[in-house]
Amino acid sequence: MKKLSGIIVAFMGSMSLFAQSPGHMPNVEFNFLLLAVDNIIKNDFTTMPMADIEGCIIGAEGSVKKEKDCFIIRLSKAANEDCSIEFKNIKSGATIKSLKYPIRRVADPITALGMSRKWDGKISTVALAAERRLTTIINNANFTSPPCSIQKFTVIKYNGNSDPSPPHVNYGEHFDEYVIKLLSTVKPGDVVQFYDIKSRCICDSGDRSVNDISLGAR
């Protein structure tokens, strides 16, 4: 529980930097760029019309788009830990401003049940039997599409002093027939654990290990 609380505190500290616009992050105040997210850089460094400015990314792959008085930076791939965004006068080719940013990936998500959004504590047997998948939660960030997805997990049921059910590996976020049947047999006092959960977020090259889920049935 202490480990999970630490994850949540660190996680919310980084993800609270997001704006309310879906998938956008204001980097005017926070000096880093996130991979695979629309990062907003406001044009407060020149009075030149936006139509006369072009932006390019140096040190990473991605795109630069204009939106009113802002530039939307979306990084698709990074070879280094940082990159520069260079703004030029389209007509003269002169550099107006060059900004350097560290590059970060999306923070580790919190994994929970798909419907109740619970990852610990108590849950009714009815609510547990109705669950059909695991989900990932990114607090204080509104994405147009989920940035992370469950790749696999292991589930086990403990029934008082009886032997636990055999560990079962489920691939993907949706429960297979075994897990659905297992959850339908849970009785008050039983404990269900989902562990060895692997998730993959946008621009990840491999799976991440995320928090375990332990729930007591009531």
pLDDT at 18: 34
Residue 87 in contact with residue 130, Cβ under 8 Å? Answer: no
The Cα 3–Cα 9 span in angstroms is 10
The predicted pLDDT at position 60 comes to 92
Rounded CA separation 29/34 (Å): 14
- pLDDT per residue as tens digits for the range 142-169: 455 566 889 999 999 999 777 899 999 9
pLDDT in tens, 22-40: 344 444 445 788 887 788 8
Q: What is the pLDDT of residue 145?
A: 57
- State the Cα–Cα distance between residues 100 and 106, nearest whole angstrom: 19
**Contact assessment for residue 134 and residue 111, using Cβ atoms and an 8 Å cutoff:** yes
> Does 22-104 carry CATH code 2.60.40?
yes
Amino acid 184: pLDDT:
96
pLDDT greater than 80 at residue 107: no
Q: Is the pLDDT of residue 105 over 80?
A: no
pLDDT at 164: 93
- Number of other residues whose CB lies within 10 A of the CB of residue 143: 17
The half-sphere exposure of 131 on its side-chain side, counting CA atoms within 13 A, is 28
Q: Please state the rounded mean pLDDT for residues 81-93.
A: 94
Pairing of the two strands 191-201 and 208-209:
antiparallel
Average pLDDT, the chain: 82
For residue 214, CA distances in Å to 46, 154, 158, 217 come to 53, 12, 11, 10
Beta-carbon-side half-sphere exposure of residue 209 (alpha carbons within 13 Å): 5
Q: Where are the domains of the chain?
A: 22-104, 108-217
Give the tens place of pLDDT for each residue, 121-137: 999 999 999 999 998 88
Per-residue pLDDT of 47-65, as tens digits, reads 999 999 999 999 999 999 9
If one compares 190 and 2, the residue with the highest pLDDT of the two is 190
